[in-house]
Structure 1
Amino acid sequence: MRSGILESVAVVGGSIAGCAAALVLRRAGVRRVVVHERATAELADRGVGVAVHTGRCAELLAAGLIDETVPWEPMRLRHWYVRDGSAALGRVVGVQPFPFRAYSWGHLWRALRAGVPGDVEFRTGSPVLGIAVDGDGAVVRCEGGGERYAAVVGADGHASLVRDHLHPGLAPSPAGYPAWRGACPQERLDGLGEWADGVCAYVVFEGGHLVVYRIPDGRGGRLVNWVLYATVPGAPAASRALDTAHRARLAEITDELLPPFWGELVRRTGPDSVFLQRLYDVSAPRYASDRLLLLGDAATVARPHTGAGAVKALQDVAVLESSLAGAESWESAAGAYDAARAPVGRAMTALGRRLGHGLVEATPAWHTQDAAELDAWWAELAGQGGFGGRGLAR
């Protein structure tokens, strides 16, 4: 995009997607970029682990959206475990290649936040209350009043106000089951079992599974990051805090369904370090219209089974930048961006539903499967690809 072709852009949301968007908008020549983030505190402690496929990581490194200095842990293999008597880790049902890097969400956010140019206005404690669009741009209304911008980028997550304005009545659909998340200091697990470095564990049981991998703790050590998916009949998750039903279900899974090592991992994480993540499906029919544009979870929320949430957000930003680079106007750039990314969003949402069905809602008879059956099951479930994110060239 010709330098200065757009005078001002408001970015709603200051997490990973919002910081990356602010960076590329300034690189594209937008004169004034303002980020409106509702939180008043630093976001670095949000989330826990982020797995990034090595192929997607290479693309994002080349795009300048991941910094090679951010600490990460390598993953090479995925081991599928089932409970088998007193065996500490359980029995390995199958082994598959798993070329991923494991990051801390906070480390990624800090690097992106540090990369936002100093002339970008990053306003914390600035929740957006409303948006009004006209032919000349949009007025963003906050507590202090309204402010006009030439365009608005929605990076405001699954409950996006910008998406509500662009697509009234389009609401995320609950997945029907939650995820429990936690991270345990690795030293708390010493002596419990020999879980090899470079291995991502999928610990499977009837009605759910546990995903486990190591991430850097930022102090030279490691955390064992875990995410557990399972149904809780009749008790939808209402918040991040565990209520009685979700504590009871977690205890049941830990005590009765997981092999000893993985159950002890959950117990030693500590109840105050475990939280619930509510899961949703939604994909905007259009990612851009008039002077509004969506990216990240504001555009599409796919279930985390896809292993591509942060990747998709950063890919959205990368495509936005390339669309701006070759455009004569904001409208043509937004149209090119929408044409490239909206189909990817729909495909990732469909993949998340399919993986959720096979890994949680209609699990196979794990104890009778062999490695060949597991490989065939996974190939059918994952379909035409997309696990870990689709390549930017696709």
Structure 2
Amino acid sequence: MRDGAVAVVGGSIAGCAFATAAARAGAGEVVVLERTRGRLADRGVGLCVHDDRAAELRVSGALPEGIAAHRLQRRRWVVRDRDAAGGRVIWEQPFPFHSYHWGLLWRGLREAVPDAVVYRQGETVTGVAEAEAGDGAEVRLAGGAVERYDLVVGADGYRSVVRAAVCPESRPHYAGYVCWRGNLDAARLAQLGGAADPAPDAVTTVCFPGGTCVIYRIPGPDGPRVNWVLYAPPPQDGQLRFDDPTSFPPGGLTPELSAHLRALLEREFPSYWGRALALTDPGDTFVQPIYDLETARTTAGRLLLAGDAASVVRPHNTSGAAKALQDATAFAEGWRRSGSFEELLRGYQGARGPAGRELVALARRLGHAQVERTPVWADMSHGEVAQWWQGQLAGAPGIGGQAMTP
């Protein structure tokens, strides 16, 4: 299939990947509509991509070479122990991932977008709809303008305007717990003494009643950083709104929320890791309720959903970035094979719809076992933890997403 005008709503990771895919596959016109005016590269959260997924995505061209990444090889599960500042290891497993800084990954994807793509910032899309003739779609902008395209891709995240048109019945579901996130300069760990600090290739998962915290290194614009993601029950003081998955962005914590986090670290964490996370600057700390979402379909008419617009997966699965890039890969491959937009959309729905739903289901099992109904970690042997882990996978090969099928 050649030519055609494509609008990509959203210009972050999924949006850049889809814009590149459409342009390289043969679209005649590609326009990215990104609502923010600021630098998306300033977003500093960490993420991981499984080594096998990364290899596939490099071959497809969806993951450009040269983007800074930090190699991870093992994951240590630890519990608080008064005799060990860094905690007692209850299990260790292989962890073949590379970690990324969100902003640096986005920058690499943005720089890979072909020059022919028009990337427009400050463009808020208020609605989309099929064209009356059924041979395209219309995009309504905040300023009142209406633009027509042959295909509109919704890469606009969990609040997707495009999803509201494709699957209006789909709504994010609150999981019942929250996620605290932060990152700090890795050099600051020297303030604590290095005896308890594991090798840089290790992920540490701190386990406590009612939650877990995943800690690992990521590259940063100014050197290595320590990224952490802490899952726990929500504060009971009414500070959080559970109708909004981003209640308190970086730098927005109230004194009460900051005090709640400090108390949690002091009460539940091995002393080393509690003190380490406490080094995080307030401007690099935030909290959000955890949600997930699955859709019955990822296409409708000339509309298509990508990344978090198609499915919101709890972060336990470590698959979000890989899934968005796989969506773009499937889209590009489908474009090259298809003779019409209708054929392209049918193929994409068949390939990516089930994949998104399976990831949501796995992440729900992981959240249930690691936050909602945690075991008595300290009483478990290595073998019991390994068996507990396999129970969460329930036959899945592992976390980090799935291999793409031809």
TM-score, structure 2 length as denominator?
A: 0.93
Aligned-partner residue type, residue 226 of structure 1: W
SS in 2 for 1:90: strand
Mapped to 1, the partners of 2:197 and 2:255 lie a distance apart of 33
Partner-residue secondary structure (3-state), 1:99: strand
Instruction: Tell me how far 1:367 sits from its aligned partner.
Output: 0.6
DSSP 3-state at the match of 2:130: strand
- The answer to whether the Cα contact below 8 Å between 1:179 and 1:230 also exists between their aligned partners in 2 is yes
Aligned to 1:200: 203
Assess if the C-alpha contact under 8 Å between 1:86 and 1:259 holds in 2.
no
State the Cα distance separating 1:87 from its structure 2 match: 1.7
Matched, 1:111 2:108: yes
Give the corresponding residue for 2:183: 183
**Offset of 1:268 from its aligned partner?**
0.4
Alignment of 1:30-49 (within 5 A): 30-49=27-46
1:65-214 alignment to 2 at 5 Å?
65-134=62-131, 135-142=134-141, 143-190=143-190, 191-192=193-194, 193-214=196-217
CA distance in 1, matches of 2:255, 2:367: 24
Matches for 1:1-394 after TM superposition, within 5 Å: 2-4=1-3, 7-134=4-131, 135-142=134-141, 143-190=143-190, 191-192=193-194, 193-219=196-222, 221-234=223-236, 235=238, 236-237=240-241, 238-240=247-249, 241-243=252-254, 246-385=257-396, 386-393=398-405
For residues 103 and 369 of structure 1, the distance between their equivalents in structure 2, rounded to whole angstroms, comes to 32
Amino acid at match of 2:55: A
Partner AA of 2:390 in structure 1:
A
Query: 5+ unaligned residues in a row in structure 2: which ranges?
Result: 242-246
Deviations 1:108-144 (A, max 9, x none): 1001100111111111000101112121211111115
Query: How many Å separate the matches in 2 of 1:86 and 1:159?
Result: 46
Native 8 Å contact 1:66 1:108 kept in 2 = no
Distance (Å, rounded) in 1 between the aligned partners of 2:9 and 2:258: 35
Deviation string 1:216-239 (CA, Å, 9 cap, x unpaired) is 1133x2101111010125444433
Moved more, 199-208 or 169-178: 169-178
SS at structure 2 position matched to 1:39: coil
| Aligned residue type for 1:230 | A
- 5+ residue gaps, structure 1, are none
Distance in 1 (alpha carbons) for counterparts of 2:314 and 2:340: 34
Q: How well do the aligned residues superpose, as a CA RMSD in angstroms? A: 1.4
| Equivalent-residue separation in structure 2 for 1:245 and 1:53 (angstroms) | 37
Q: Distance in 2 between matches of 1:309 and 1:15?
A: 13
Deviations 1:191-248 (A, max 9, x none): 14331121011111001011011111133x2101111010125444433233455334
Contact 1:162 1:292 in 2 (8 A): yes
Which moves more between the two structures, 255-264 or 153-162? 255-264
CA contact (8 A) 2:307 2:327 kept: yes
Displacement, 1:270? Answer: 2.1
Contact 2:64 2:112 (C-alpha < 8 Å) held by counterparts = no
Contact 1:174 1:280 in 2 (8 A): yes
Q: TM-score, normalised by structure 1?
A: 0.96
User: Separation in 2 of the partners of 1:133 and 1:245?
Assistant: 47
Greater Cα shift, 366-375 or 84-93: 84-93
Question: Aligned partners of 1:245 and 1:160: how far apart in 2?
Answer: 31
Residues in 2 aligned to 1:108 and 1:146: alpha-carbon distance in whole angstroms: 32
Amino acid at match of 1:56: R
The 1-side partners of 2:283 and 2:26 are apart by 45
Q: Are the aligned partners of 2:235 and 2:260 in contact in 1 as well (CA < 8 Å)?
A: no
